[in-house]
Amino acid sequence: MLRHLLGSCSLACALLATVPVNAQSPRNAGAPPPAAPAVDQSMMGPDKPSAAMKRVLDVLASLGGKPIETLTPEQARRQPTPADAVKQIMAADKIPMDKSIRTEDASYGSNPRQKVRIYHPPAHKANGPAVPIVVYYHGGGWVIADLNVYDATPRAMAKALNALVVSVEYRHAPELKFPSQHEDAAAAYRWVLDQAEGWNADPGRIALAGESAGGNLALATAIYARDNKLTMPRHVLSVYPIADSRKDLPSRRDSAAAKPLNTPMLGWFGHYYMRTMADANDPRVNLVAADLSGLPPVTIVNASIDPLRSDGENLAAALRRAGNSVAQRTYPGVTHEFFGMAAVVPTTKTAQAWSVARMRPSLMAGKKRK
């Protein structure tokens, strides 16, 4: 029975099944993982990956990574990533990296993890027109990945939106658990608002964006800005977010054995980043139960072959019920992490173009001039 539940439940359900009441999961990145649940390996998603998507998955498999849910965080952080697979394909196909975007790193806090990478659009000059800002949060279940793994999306957004994109690193679990990641996301947003004019960027034209765990942080930070009377973001782009802690969501079942993210991995992330099972119901994690009123327009992107697909679809419904402007699309034939694969997966270009078209009017309105 336990194995059945872990194979089909949400992040919260997996945590409830593996962690005793009031117990804390380890705060050591070398601590052993929880027992990996058995899942039906035929549950690879409701449709088949496109040829381009399958090529990425095949190359990723050839890199020899081990199942994340069987590793410690320390080991998981050293595994090959989908971004590595994309780079291999780009090298094989002689696809050059876009070098028109200038980057610089800075710190917003005292912890080494509290840093940002700033992406300047090609024509951005200190004495030219002020540009809009996008604050971007990367994925990795709040446990793995970093600014380098999630370089493609902020780079593409800087160029497509002619915006200064600030990609935020944050402290990772299990060394620092929830809500440290959400606190860092909010602190970085405040810091960007304070620094914007020094970069010749307009703090009044700011948006939030993120993928996976970062898609959660983007919307949670918009809620934080509303509650703390900060400058509100003009738009939120949330790509396959963690958003719904209810058990037995459809995508947890039909994509239980999907790649590169499967349902057991959600339980693995929860084991390491949550303090206790109560964190699963905190509205910063369980966004569908948060106060979603009074938010800016939201764009949600999902992949069909992804255990987090239902999260995005349910979040869109919750946002609409709260009276917000929201648009959500689920793209067929692609998996979790596809949004950063525009160089090699055509569907990504379509999804990015739609997202940019949704965001651009929000960021262009009330354009500030020097």
Catalytic residues: 212, 306, 336
Query: What DSSP string runs through 159-211?
Result: HHHT-EEEEEP-PPTTTS-TTHHHHHHHHHHHHHHHHGGGGTEEEEEEEEEEE
Dihedral angle, C-alpha 86, 88, 89, 94, nearest 10 °: 120
Cβ-based neighbour number of residue 67 at 10 Å:
15
Amino acid at 287: L
Separation between Cα atoms, residue 19 and residue 271, nearest integer Å: 7
- Contact in structure between 288 and 244 (CB atoms under 8 Å): yes
Q: Are strands 164-168 and 131-137 parallel, antiparallel or unpaired?
A: parallel
Backbone angles phi and psi of 290, in degrees to 5: -80, 165
Cis peptide bond prior to 154, omega within 30° of 0: no
CA angle 250, 310, 223 (to 5 degrees): 150
- Contact in structure between 133 and 161 (CB atoms under 8 Å): no
